[in-house]
Chain A
Amino acid sequence: MAGFLSAHGYDPGPTQRPFLAGAISGIVATIPAIAILQAFGSLRVEAKILGISEFATLAAGWIIMALSGAVYARLFGRAANEKRGGWLFGMAFGFALWAGGGVLILPLVGGGNAPAGEAAIGLFLSLVAWGATLGALHPFIHRPLHERLETAARWLGPDVGAVKPRNDRRTPARS
């Protein structure tokens, strides 16, 4: 799969820092998501289901969203840098996170209890909004984090033209 994505040009490439940019975008995108959770009372319900405090739910949520942002950026690779379609990719990712986390994992962890009513609406909207914000923000957050062309170019000298021995996973030497 990694080879396929790389051949098709989705690989982020030597100047990009997708994990960092994705994590930062994930953290920033959590702000509107929390506002929605609060507005619908979903945060309180989630904390109740999980049996922890709202603060702990919030802290755990922020960490998960940062990690999810990093996963999103790496998964979508160069596509995540697209300004026009980023919102959609992010929203799709947010939807998947909701379907996996909010619909499946939360009831499993909560002993079969799931948010309902307005709390369920809030949980759904917050994750879709988180994804859309993540996707829309990511291209703008990522670009200033790129490594300079001049320094990154040093990694790609004439030795990349050589056939590597099997199992040689060393990166090309700086030349």
Chain B
Amino acid sequence: MLRVVSFKKAILAGAAGALVWEAAARLLALAGLPVFDLVRELGTVLFRHGSPAEWWPAGAAAHLAVGVAWAVFYAYFVWARWRWPPALQGLAFAALPALLAIFVMVPQLRLMHLDQEIARLGWSSALTGLEPAVLGTILLGHALFGLTVGAIYTHPVGYPVDRMPQLGGARRRQRSSSRRRQPDGAFMFATGIECSYPTIEHGRWRRDEMETTRHYELWQQDFELARRIGVSHLRYGPPLHLIHAGPGQYRWELIDEAMAELEQHGPEPIVDLCHFGVPHWLGDFQNTELAQPLTEYAAAFARRYPWVRFYTPVNEMFVSARMSALDGVWNEQLRDEGAFIAATFNLAAASVAMTDALLAVRPDAVFVNSESSEFYQPCCPDPDVQALAELENERRFLPLDLLYAHELSERMLGCVKEHGRFDEYRRLLKRQVPRRTILGVDYYEWNEKLIDQDGRKLALGELFGWYVIANQYWERYRRPMMHTETNRIDASDAPRWLWRQWHNVQLLRRAGVPLVGFTWYSLTDQVDWAIALAQPNGAIDPVGLFDLNRDPRAVGLAYMHLIEMHRDQPEYRECAALKELVD
């Protein structure tokens, strides 16, 4: 696929563009100006000697059809390629059909109007060119068409926060491959269904990756593909923002069938209860009352699906808080240290309360606390740059410190006191962390960053690698660990990246770290992931085991190979660290 396109919007934009052209041409004709009548030209191709009642509808229909085709073309190939206002993008695009019209279509239409079957062409006829009136109308018409299409075709993905998206995909009768019986406590080979649902545009527009990647429609096929790859576990985040409709209101019917399929056929889900966003009625991560409704949701979820054993109460708290309150990209879209502290504490409080609520319903629940691993390298001996790197390298631990009752660094403690959260911190510090807890460490090529002389953070690629960075988290928290996310945006390099990540996992295990699982994230390609969902562009990032047509990528085949090669090896068939947790 090239990109995710909204056909409805493209068709509307194309039809509107053609109508605007036609209206302008009629107005110019009424004003007595010489105009090239494209509708007549098209209509009389079929009704050469027909009356206007015959050729006008035919010509108008042809013009509309051509307009729609060009608008869909624009949606696939041009939209959001330039960072210009949408109408200007459309205007620039219109140069292409205008040139084709001038040099190919209009001369050919003239040939089509001839009462002979063969015409003799010469260089002179090709170079004669068009009359000024024809040329002017074509240029003006295309400009109006482009401006209209550009202005109308925006936001091809996502939806307004107060609107319920169309959810298709009732369970079909199909042969599901049977669950591969893995011994309890076998190493977890996992993938995930990308399920981010933050809001952008100051809370007005919802990004919903499950909708954009068509998982709501193709969930059954997606689960089957995960089984075919051979994964034992699936990171799966039901859409909190759609299910939790209000206080005490849950639309379980949205996921009942999908959950039943997972229960019967696998893979075993690691259920992600809050992934980068909250329902519209809960506001955003600045909401100090967030913990209560999310806790009720978690408890209700566990009662509804009592067979679910693995949970991620809040996914990547650091990323959620940072993107929403420090980098100004999602949800509350703030850029403020205090707002970051508030979001982090609200999320940590929610995660802790959700964990307790889940344990009350399912005492043997296992928690996979997924967090983005980060590392900041100062570029030079500049004290300011070094101080910034130190701050970032301490700040990265804040959410996990709160969750795992770990003492904060002096600098972060000062920050917490400054923003009035010290009492809350002390309460969290006294918490008994559940025994069945796994620290999930996510790693991508930009997790290691260089702080340059201007204080900018630049992706470093794989500088020290997952082994070194994950080891820093291990040294701090000493919890069983899992590699819970990785992928590579360069699809051609993804198989190499997969194997290298896997070798990091193997090495860390050999070093004695209790590593219980590995994840390629995600099952399918993602949309606008490279720009952190910041704009609703519909650009596809080829990071999946399968593309959005559900055709396998090379990395999907490599992962299949990797799993097949290792899952029956004694040290993976029985993973002592995981067995100890689930027993």
Contact = CB atoms under 8 A, between A and B. Distances in A.
Contact of B557 (A92, A115, A149): A149
A45 B117 contact: yes
B110 to A, nearest CB: 9
Contacts of A78: 1, 547, 549, 551
A103 B561 CA distance: 50
A161 B499 contact: yes
A49 interface: yes
B275 interface: no
Given A9-B547, A15-B552, A153 B120 contact: no
B540 interface: yes
A7 B7 CA distance: 27
A160 B121 contact: no
A91 interface: yes
Interface string B104-123: 10001001111111111110
Interface in B490-548: 490-493, 495-496, 498-500, 502-503, 525, 540-542, 547
B553 interface: yes
Interface in B341-364: none
B112 A16 contact: no
Interface stretch (A31-39, A51-59, A116-124): A116-124
Interface residues of A, number: 54
Contacts of B554: 11, 13-14, 156
A152 B117 CA distance: 53
B553 A88 contact: no
B384 interface: no
A13 B553 contact: yes
Given A3-B492, A121-B45, A116 B118 contact: yes
A117 B491 CA distance: 49
Contact of A88 (B73, B108, B111, B228): B73
A78 B3 CA distance: 11
A120 B557 CA distance: 48
Contacts of B564: 153
A114 interface: yes
A114 B119 contact: yes
Nearest to A155: B557
A9 B552 contact: no
Contact of A14 (B104, B117, B557): B557
A15 B118 CA distance: 47
A112 B500 CA distance: 61
Given A85-B2, A124-B112, A8 B542 contact: yes
Interface in B540-583: 540-542, 547, 549, 551-558, 560-562, 564-565
Given A107-B121, A117-B114, A149-B557, A84 B7 contact: yes
A139 interface: yes
Contacts of B502: 161
A85 B491 CA distance: 22
A118 B46 CA distance: 9
Interface residues of B, number: 57
Contacts of B498: 161
Contacts of B542: 8-9
B339 to A, nearest CB: 36
Contact of A149 (B117, B228, B490, B540): B228
Contact of B118 (A10, A91, A99, A119): A119
Contacts of A79: 1-2
A133 interface: no
Contacts of A99: 100, 104
A14 B552 CA distance: 9
Interface string A85-117: 100110110000001000100010000111111
B325 interface: no
Interface string B309-328: 00000000000000000000
B69 interface: yes
B5 interface: yes
B302 interface: no
A169 to B, nearest CB: 14
Given A13-B552, A78-B1, A116 B119 contact: yes
30 contacts: A8-B491, A9-B541, A9-B547, A9-B553, A41-B117, A49-B118, A81-B551, A84-B7, A85-B5, A91-B69, A114-B111, A114-B118, A115-B111, A116-B111, A116-B117, A117-B117, A119-B117, A149-B556, A149-B560, A153-B558, A156-B554, A156-B558, A156-B561, A157-B558, A157-B561, A160-B499, A160-B558, A161-B496, A161-B503, A162-B496
Given A49-B118, A82-B549, 8 more contacts: A82-B2, A120-B114, A150-B560, A153-B560, A156-B554, A158-B562, A161-B496, A161-B498
